[in-house]
A and B are shown apart, each in its own frame.
Chain A
Amino acid sequence: MTTTATSAGSAGPAVGFDPRTAIGTLELKNPVLTASGCAAAGRELGRLYDVAALGAVVTKSILRDARSGRPTPRMAETPSGMLNSIGLQGPGIDAFLAHDLPWLRDHGATAVVSIAGNDAAEFAELAGRLVDEPGVGAVEVNISCPNVANRGLVFACDPGSSAEVVSGVVDVVGGRVPVLAKLSPDVTDIVAIARACLDHGADGLAMVNTTLGMVVDTDTMRPVLAGVTGGLSGPAIRPIAVRCVWQVHAAMRRGDLRTAPIVGIGGILTGLDALQFVLAGASAVQVGTSTFHDPSAPLRVGAELAQALAARGFAGVADAVGHAHTVLAREGAR
């Protein structure tokens, strides 16, 4: 007998549990979102299931102009992960506003629009084009794409560059929708980058983007990816991502950082993976690479997370955010 994986793979409803969460002023029906670059602009997943059931669809990063992306090969499978070197391929914001955003709106999806620019002014221009469009729930500022020609252009590797981009976007958005800064794990002190973003007005943090990696083909004896290096994602990087969320949330609890919602991202394949991020300090999570493995993963993780939280006695997501810090503090007090 065949069963559709989307139903058979899901946990049942968690009775008495409130799955709602919030990222600043954006209220979400559940805490599991897609991750940028892993769901395009929702339409393809919409052929498999109702994207309105997701916490939100986070779009692939939108650029001002069309971009071809990199040559191929663009992908390599790695143990429990993959490398990608897409290079932000996309049709540009005009096509996004004409075709993709209306589709998301018509299908009842909450849209978190990821934006990427070559400089701070371009980020601000993109934010300005988006902020008053109906259906835009939040803007995620992709300052951390590793697939750029010059590592010096990864804004999220430098507090000053991060601050410049974020403040430009925040000024344009003017509080009308939440602004999330998406951080890179490839930094020495992620709290310093988080601080730069929050001090300059970011409403929340999306943590983390891929980490830079590479694979060499031992037959051809050259790098596998045409772009030589690529972003490593998937369960392989989950412990790095959980650690980043933990460090930033800990700084918030200490009072070293303004308290703001964290969206956890990195190798989430199951509800228990997502729970790790919540316990470390995330108010919501994004499911990325796992969507390639299991297109229904964002929905399934949502159901599994609700069950896991309910089973541990939490009435809602907010009650569990950062709970691992509380447990550790209690142990220290004894």
Chain B
Amino acid sequence: MSAVTGPAPAGVPAAETLGARDRRPDPVQVRCAVLANEPDGAYRRLVLDAGEAARRALPGQFAALAVGEPPTAMLLRRAVSIHAATPGDRRFDGADTLEIVVAPHGPGTEWVTRRRAGDVLDVVAPLGRPFPAPEVGAPTVLVGGGYGSAPLVWLARDLRDAGHRVDVVLGAASRDKLFGLEEAAAVVGPDLVHVTTDDGSAGLRGRVTDALAPLARDGVVVYACGPMAMLRAVHEVAAGAGGTSWLAVEESMACGIGVCMTCVLPVRGEDGVTRMTRSCVEGPTFDGDRVRWDAISIGPGGATSAVPADCLGAPVAAGKGH
């Protein structure tokens, strides 16, 4: 059975349906033993004995990890995308495993990358909405920037099994920062995997959009994970070709479970109203056509969002009513 989820149920109130076109299992909080921690290029690949969290996870969902030895001074969970969920994983005596890919960005993620087999991680998963399903028979292109490609191999397998054509575009600054090349080739075949690097150390020298452009045609459904600048460029190529883009954003989060309201970005809902929308529960995957790119700035420190003037509840100048 494909894990790609079906369309939204009809009749759900508009206020609750932003992205609610797919089902979403409840998360669990589990203490997971680390079963393996292996290098993969510039990244670490960890396998966790995750029990119920592994049995529930679907492609496109993420996990929120507590970091640091308790009592830790780093209070906020780190959100990492789920590379694979394997109930009854034969490599690990039938354990229900979650596989995550971690890049050491700072002290919290560095701590995670130093965990050894037998160490325990406090994990809340699976979180966020899974990737939505494409129209039956639609051609698909999966675009991953750096380790943003972590959830895409799983998605590629499901899309392939559902009968879709699946091209995979993997891009990174350099060869060591590519992720998932061999796995993707094993799923869709090497001819359908397209590699770009900024420095030309692997594949085509250039950006993922250079490889995406010739694949994008009317009706294409593009799934992309990576930095916001890449997501915007992917959206522009897909939209320009008459296709759809599903973009998994990497917003910084404090909780990952929908209570803190820090990971928001302006997104237009199905009712046409723009809201500052939580990427942890309404996302992390958004329809590129609904993201308010006009309010998003991409700078050296990452992406930031202004509040569009027509956003629900935007500050109103004195004397103006709603």
Residue of A nearest to B303 (CB): A72
B274-285 near A? 1/0 per residue, CB < 8 Å: 011000010000
Given that A65-B322, A70-B307 are known contacts, is A292 also in contact with B260, CB under 8 Å in the complex? yes
Are A292 and B77 touching (Cβ within 8 A)? yes
In the assembled complex, the Cα of A325 lies from the Cα of B26 at a distance in Å of 45
Which of B27-35, B189-197, B215-223 is found at the contact surface with chain A? B27-35
Q: Give the residue among A8, A89, A292 with the most B Cβ atoms within 10 A.
A: A292
A35-53 near B? 1/0 per residue, CB < 8 Å: 0011110001101100000
A68-80 near B? 1/0 per residue, CB < 8 Å: 1111111101011
Q: Give the residue among B72, B96, B255, B300 with the most A Cβ atoms within 10 A.
A: B255
B201 close to chain A: CB less than 8 A: no
B82 close to chain A: CB less than 8 A: no
Residues on A with beta carbons closer than 8 Å to the beta carbon of B312: 66, 68, 91
Given that A6-B29, A40-B258, A292-B77 are known contacts, is A89 also in contact with B306, CB under 8 Å in the complex? no
Given that A72-B305, A220-B300, A226-B304 are known contacts, is A4 also in contact with B322, CB under 8 Å in the complex? no
Interface residues of A, dominant DSSP: loop
For the side of the interface on A, what is the size category? 35 or more
Residues on A with beta carbons closer than 8 Å to the beta carbon of B96: 2
Given that A69-B276, A71-B305, A219-B301 are known contacts, is A89 also in contact with B264, CB under 8 Å in the complex? yes
Are B75 and A292 touching (Cβ within 8 A)? yes
Are B322 and A2 touching (Cβ within 8 A)? no
Interface size for B (C-beta < 8 A) is 54
B122 close to chain A: CB less than 8 A: yes
Residues on A with beta carbons closer than 8 Å to the beta carbon of B281: 44
A291 close to chain B: CB less than 8 A: yes
Residues on A with beta carbons closer than 8 Å to the beta carbon of B49: 1-2
Are A68 and B276 touching (Cβ within 8 A)? yes
Please give the distance in Å from A150's CB to the nearest CB on chain B: 13
Of B28, B53, B254, B313, the contact of A84 (CB 8 Å cutoff): B254
| CB < 8 Å A-B pair total | 154
Please give the distance in Å from A217's CB to the nearest CB on chain B: 6
Interface residues of B, dominant DSSP: loop
Residues on A with beta carbons closer than 8 Å to the beta carbon of B265: 72
Residue of A nearest to B304 (CB): A72
A95 close to chain B: CB less than 8 A: yes
B71 close to chain A: CB less than 8 A: yes
B20 close to chain A: CB less than 8 A: no
In the assembled complex, the Cα of A80 lies from the Cα of B68 at a distance in Å of 11
Given that A68-B276, A82-B75 are known contacts, is A291 also in contact with B31, CB under 8 Å in the complex? no
B73 close to chain A: CB less than 8 A: yes
In the assembled complex, the Cα of A86 lies from the Cα of B114 at a distance in Å of 33
28 contacts between A and B (CB under 8 A): A2-B30, A2-B32, A4-B28, A5-B122, A37-B260, A38-B260, A40-B258, A44-B258, A48-B26, A48-B27, A48-B29, A65-B322, A67-B313, A68-B276, A69-B313, A72-B304, A73-B262, A77-B76, A81-B75, A82-B76, A84-B260, A89-B261, A89-B276, A235-B71, A270-B71, A290-B75, A293-B75, A294-B29
Given A217-B301, A293-B75, 11 more contacts at CB 8 Å? A5-B30, A44-B259, A48-B26, A48-B124, A69-B264, A75-B252, A75-B262, A86-B261, A99-B16, A235-B75, A293-B66
